Amino acid sequence: MTNRTAFITGASRGIGRACAMALSDAGARVAVAARNADQLEELASQIRSEQREAFPIAVDMTSADSIKEALAKTAKDFGPVSILVNNAGITKDGLAMRMKKDDWDSVIATNLTGSFLAIQQVLPAMMRERWGRIINISSVVGKSGNPGQANYVASKAGLIGLTKAIAQEMASRNITVNAVAPGYIETDMTHGLSDELKTKMLDHIPLKRIGRPEDVAAAVRFLASEEASYITGHVLDVNGGLYM
Protein backbone atom coordinates (compact mmCIF):
# COMPACT_ATOMS: atom_id res chain seq x y z
CA MET A 1 0.00 0.00 0.00
CA THR A 2 3.03 2.27 -0.45
CA ASN A 3 2.01 5.84 -1.30
CA ARG A 4 -1.70 5.04 -1.20
CA THR A 5 -3.76 7.51 0.80
CA ALA A 6 -5.69 6.11 3.76
CA PHE A 7 -8.43 8.08 5.54
CA ILE A 8 -9.15 6.98 9.12
CA THR A 9 -12.10 8.39 11.08
CA GLY A 10 -12.00 8.59 14.86
CA ALA A 11 -8.21 8.60 14.51
CA SER A 12 -7.31 10.77 17.49
CA ARG A 13 -7.18 7.90 20.02
CA GLY A 14 -7.74 4.22 20.70
CA ILE A 15 -8.38 1.89 17.78
CA GLY A 16 -8.36 4.70 15.18
CA ARG A 17 -4.98 5.95 16.32
CA ALA A 18 -3.56 2.40 16.25
CA CYS A 19 -4.96 1.91 12.72
CA ALA A 20 -3.30 5.13 11.56
CA MET A 21 0.06 4.00 12.97
CA ALA A 22 -0.26 0.51 11.47
CA LEU A 23 -1.19 1.75 7.99
CA SER A 24 1.58 4.35 8.13
CA ASP A 25 4.07 1.61 9.10
CA ALA A 26 2.85 -0.34 6.06
CA GLY A 27 3.70 2.58 3.78
CA ALA A 28 0.38 4.39 3.41
CA ARG A 29 0.03 8.16 3.55
CA VAL A 30 -2.48 8.65 6.36
CA ALA A 31 -5.19 11.28 6.65
CA VAL A 32 -6.23 11.26 10.29
CA ALA A 33 -9.74 12.57 10.94
CA ALA A 34 -11.65 13.32 14.14
CA ARG A 35 -13.20 16.23 16.04
CA ASN A 36 -10.23 16.88 18.36
CA ALA A 37 -7.76 18.92 16.30
CA ASP A 38 -5.09 19.03 19.03
CA GLN A 39 -4.94 15.25 19.37
CA LEU A 40 -4.82 14.88 15.59
CA GLU A 41 -1.94 17.32 15.30
CA GLU A 42 -0.02 15.42 17.98
CA LEU A 43 -0.59 12.13 16.13
CA ALA A 44 0.41 13.67 12.79
CA SER A 45 3.60 15.03 14.36
CA GLN A 46 4.46 11.60 15.70
CA ILE A 47 3.97 10.01 12.26
CA ARG A 48 5.99 12.75 10.55
CA SER A 49 8.82 12.28 13.07
CA GLU A 50 9.26 8.82 11.55
CA GLN A 51 9.62 10.38 8.07
CA ARG A 52 6.12 9.37 7.05
CA GLU A 53 3.29 11.47 5.66
CA ALA A 54 0.28 12.50 7.73
CA PHE A 55 -2.61 14.89 7.11
CA PRO A 56 -4.74 15.91 10.11
CA ILE A 57 -8.28 16.92 9.19
CA ALA A 58 -11.19 17.87 11.45
CA VAL A 59 -14.49 16.13 10.74
CA ASP A 60 -17.90 15.87 12.37
CA MET A 61 -19.32 12.46 11.46
CA THR A 62 -22.88 13.63 12.19
CA SER A 63 -22.65 16.29 9.46
CA ALA A 64 -22.94 15.37 5.79
CA ASP A 65 -21.35 18.70 4.83
CA SER A 66 -18.40 18.19 7.19
CA ILE A 67 -17.75 14.68 5.83
CA LYS A 68 -17.95 15.89 2.23
CA GLU A 69 -15.63 18.85 2.91
CA ALA A 70 -13.07 16.78 4.83
CA LEU A 71 -12.79 14.14 2.12
CA ALA A 72 -12.73 16.71 -0.68
CA LYS A 73 -9.94 18.65 1.07
CA THR A 74 -8.00 15.43 1.68
CA ALA A 75 -8.27 14.41 -1.98
CA LYS A 76 -7.23 17.89 -3.16
CA ASP A 77 -4.35 18.52 -0.75
CA PHE A 78 -3.13 15.00 0.06
CA GLY A 79 -4.29 12.67 -2.72
CA PRO A 80 -7.36 10.58 -3.66
CA VAL A 81 -8.40 8.21 -0.87
CA SER A 82 -7.70 4.56 -1.72
CA ILE A 83 -8.23 3.13 1.78
CA LEU A 84 -11.12 4.19 4.03
CA VAL A 85 -11.31 3.03 7.65
CA ASN A 86 -14.68 3.90 9.20
CA ASN A 87 -13.78 3.74 12.87
CA ALA A 88 -15.50 6.76 14.48
CA GLY A 89 -18.07 5.65 17.02
CA ILE A 90 -19.89 6.78 20.15
CA THR A 91 -22.05 5.16 22.80
CA LYS A 92 -25.07 6.53 24.65
CA ASP A 93 -26.22 3.51 26.60
CA GLY A 94 -29.58 2.95 28.24
CA LEU A 95 -32.38 0.43 28.42
CA ALA A 96 -34.53 0.50 25.29
CA MET A 97 -37.78 1.35 27.07
CA ARG A 98 -36.21 4.51 28.54
CA MET A 99 -33.85 5.47 25.69
CA LYS A 100 -34.28 9.04 24.50
CA LYS A 101 -34.80 9.49 20.77
CA ASP A 102 -31.86 11.94 20.67
CA ASP A 103 -29.59 9.23 22.10
CA TRP A 104 -30.79 6.79 19.44
CA ASP A 105 -30.42 9.34 16.64
CA SER A 106 -26.93 10.57 17.55
CA VAL A 107 -25.44 7.07 17.82
CA ILE A 108 -26.98 5.94 14.52
CA ALA A 109 -25.91 9.21 12.85
CA THR A 110 -22.28 8.94 13.95
CA ASN A 111 -21.68 5.20 13.77
CA LEU A 112 -23.76 4.17 10.75
CA THR A 113 -24.96 7.11 8.66
CA GLY A 114 -21.57 8.86 8.89
CA SER A 115 -19.83 5.72 7.67
CA PHE A 116 -22.22 5.44 4.73
CA LEU A 117 -21.69 9.09 3.77
CA ALA A 118 -17.90 8.68 3.92
CA ILE A 119 -18.15 5.61 1.66
CA GLN A 120 -20.23 7.61 -0.84
CA GLN A 121 -17.54 10.29 -1.01
CA VAL A 122 -14.61 7.93 -1.67
CA LEU A 123 -16.25 5.57 -4.18
CA PRO A 124 -15.93 7.71 -7.34
CA ALA A 125 -12.11 7.97 -7.08
CA MET A 126 -11.79 4.28 -6.17
CA MET A 127 -13.93 3.35 -9.17
CA ARG A 128 -11.75 5.44 -11.50
CA GLU A 129 -8.62 3.79 -10.11
CA ARG A 130 -10.26 0.35 -10.11
CA TRP A 131 -8.70 -0.21 -6.67
CA GLY A 132 -10.03 0.43 -3.20
CA ARG A 133 -10.24 -0.85 0.35
CA ILE A 134 -13.11 0.03 2.66
CA ILE A 135 -12.90 -1.31 6.21
CA ASN A 136 -15.74 -0.70 8.64
CA ILE A 137 -15.12 -1.13 12.36
CA SER A 138 -18.16 -2.96 13.72
CA SER A 139 -18.28 -4.74 17.11
CA VAL A 140 -18.82 -8.14 18.67
CA VAL A 141 -22.14 -6.81 19.98
CA GLY A 142 -23.28 -6.20 16.40
CA LYS A 143 -23.36 -9.98 16.11
CA SER A 144 -24.23 -11.06 19.66
CA GLY A 145 -26.47 -8.23 20.88
CA ASN A 146 -26.03 -6.55 24.27
CA PRO A 147 -28.60 -5.31 26.79
CA GLY A 148 -28.62 -1.57 27.38
CA GLN A 149 -27.07 -0.80 24.00
CA ALA A 150 -29.92 -1.03 21.51
CA ASN A 151 -28.70 2.04 19.61
CA TYR A 152 -25.03 1.02 19.53
CA VAL A 153 -25.82 -2.61 18.66
CA ALA A 154 -28.17 -1.53 15.86
CA SER A 155 -25.49 0.79 14.45
CA LYS A 156 -22.80 -1.90 14.52
CA ALA A 157 -25.10 -4.60 13.08
CA GLY A 158 -26.07 -2.07 10.42
CA LEU A 159 -22.41 -1.62 9.53
CA ILE A 160 -22.16 -5.35 8.85
CA GLY A 161 -25.14 -5.21 6.50
CA LEU A 162 -23.75 -2.08 4.84
CA THR A 163 -20.40 -3.82 4.38
CA LYS A 164 -22.00 -6.74 2.55
CA ALA A 165 -24.20 -4.56 0.34
CA ILE A 166 -21.39 -2.27 -0.81
CA ALA A 167 -19.06 -5.27 -1.25
CA GLN A 168 -21.51 -6.74 -3.75
CA GLU A 169 -22.01 -3.43 -5.55
CA MET A 170 -18.29 -2.70 -5.90
CA ALA A 171 -16.66 -6.11 -6.43
CA SER A 172 -16.52 -5.74 -10.23
CA ARG A 173 -14.44 -2.55 -9.76
CA ASN A 174 -11.78 -4.31 -7.68
CA ILE A 175 -12.93 -2.51 -4.52
CA THR A 176 -13.09 -4.74 -1.45
CA VAL A 177 -15.34 -3.92 1.49
CA ASN A 178 -14.88 -5.71 4.79
CA ALA A 179 -15.65 -5.25 8.47
CA VAL A 180 -13.67 -5.89 11.63
CA ALA A 181 -15.65 -6.80 14.75
CA PRO A 182 -13.59 -6.15 17.88
CA GLY A 183 -14.47 -7.64 21.23
CA TYR A 184 -13.50 -5.92 24.48
CA ILE A 185 -10.53 -3.67 23.69
CA GLU A 186 -8.57 -1.52 26.16
CA THR A 187 -9.61 1.97 25.02
CA ASP A 188 -11.04 5.13 26.57
CA MET A 189 -14.49 3.64 25.90
CA THR A 190 -13.79 0.65 28.19
CA HIS A 191 -11.33 2.36 30.56
CA GLY A 192 -14.04 3.44 32.99
CA LEU A 193 -15.32 -0.07 33.62
CA SER A 194 -14.96 -1.39 37.16
CA ASP A 195 -12.40 -4.07 38.01
CA GLU A 196 -15.28 -6.35 38.92
CA LEU A 197 -16.85 -5.97 35.48
CA LYS A 198 -13.48 -6.46 33.75
CA THR A 199 -12.91 -9.69 35.71
CA LYS A 200 -16.39 -10.84 34.72
CA MET A 201 -15.57 -10.12 31.07
CA LEU A 202 -12.34 -12.08 31.24
CA ASP A 203 -14.28 -15.14 32.44
CA HIS A 204 -15.98 -15.18 29.02
CA ILE A 205 -12.86 -14.57 26.90
CA PRO A 206 -11.04 -17.85 26.07
CA LEU A 207 -7.71 -16.04 25.53
CA LYS A 208 -8.07 -14.53 29.04
CA ARG A 209 -7.04 -11.01 28.20
CA ILE A 210 -8.68 -7.80 27.05
CA GLY A 211 -7.60 -6.89 23.54
CA ARG A 212 -5.29 -4.05 22.57
CA PRO A 213 -5.99 -1.44 19.89
CA GLU A 214 -2.97 -2.87 18.03
CA ASP A 215 -4.77 -6.24 17.75
CA VAL A 216 -7.55 -4.56 15.78
CA ALA A 217 -5.13 -2.43 13.76
CA ALA A 218 -3.27 -5.55 12.61
CA ALA A 219 -6.52 -6.93 11.16
CA VAL A 220 -7.23 -3.60 9.43
CA ARG A 221 -3.72 -3.48 7.98
CA PHE A 222 -4.16 -6.99 6.57
CA LEU A 223 -7.55 -6.22 5.00
CA ALA A 224 -6.07 -3.07 3.42
CA SER A 225 -3.17 -5.01 1.88
CA GLU A 226 -2.73 -6.73 -1.48
CA GLU A 227 -2.65 -10.05 0.39
CA ALA A 228 -6.35 -9.56 1.16
CA SER A 229 -7.35 -8.82 -2.44
CA TYR A 230 -9.61 -11.92 -2.65
CA ILE A 231 -11.51 -11.15 0.56
CA THR A 232 -14.65 -9.02 0.41
CA GLY A 233 -17.94 -8.87 2.29
CA HIS A 234 -16.23 -10.54 5.26
CA VAL A 235 -16.50 -9.80 8.99
CA LEU A 236 -13.20 -10.50 10.77
CA ASP A 237 -13.67 -11.13 14.49
CA VAL A 238 -10.93 -9.81 16.79
CA ASN A 239 -12.37 -10.84 20.12
CA GLY A 240 -10.13 -13.41 21.84
CA GLY A 241 -12.76 -16.06 21.23
CA LEU A 242 -15.46 -14.18 23.16
CA TYR A 243 -18.12 -14.91 20.52
CA MET A 244 -17.79 -17.76 18.06
Q: How far apart are CA 66 and CA 127, in angstroms?
A: 23
* pLDDT tens per residue, range 81-138: 999 999 999 999 999 999 999 999 999 999 999 999 999 999 999 999 999 999 999 9
Q: Where is 203: in which H helix or E strand?
A: helix 195-203
Question: What is the structure's pLDDT at 189?
Answer: 64
Per cent of the chain over pLDDT 70 is 99
Helix (H, G, I), strand (E, B) or coil at 48: helix
**Range list of β-strands (E), 54-125:** 54-58, 81-86
The correct CATH number of 5-238 out of 3.40.50.720, 3.40.50.1820, 3.40.50.10860, 3.40.50.620 is 3.40.50.720
Q: Among this protein's residues, is 184 annotated catalytic?
A: no
Structure confidence at residue 199 (pLDDT):
85
Q: What is the pLDDT of residues 183-199, one digit of tens each?
A: 999 987 677 677 888 88
Q: Which member of 152, 184, 230, 243 is catalytic?
A: 152
In DSSP terms, which residues pair with 84 in a beta bridge? 7, 134
154 touches 108 (CB < 8 A): yes
pLDDT in tens, 3-54: 899 999 999 999 999 999 999 999 999 999 999 889 999 999 999 999 999 9
Residue 196's Cβ-count burial label (10 Å; 0-12, 13-18, 19+) is exposed
Residue type, 70: A
| CA–CA gap between residue 145 and residue 156 (Å, rounded) | 10
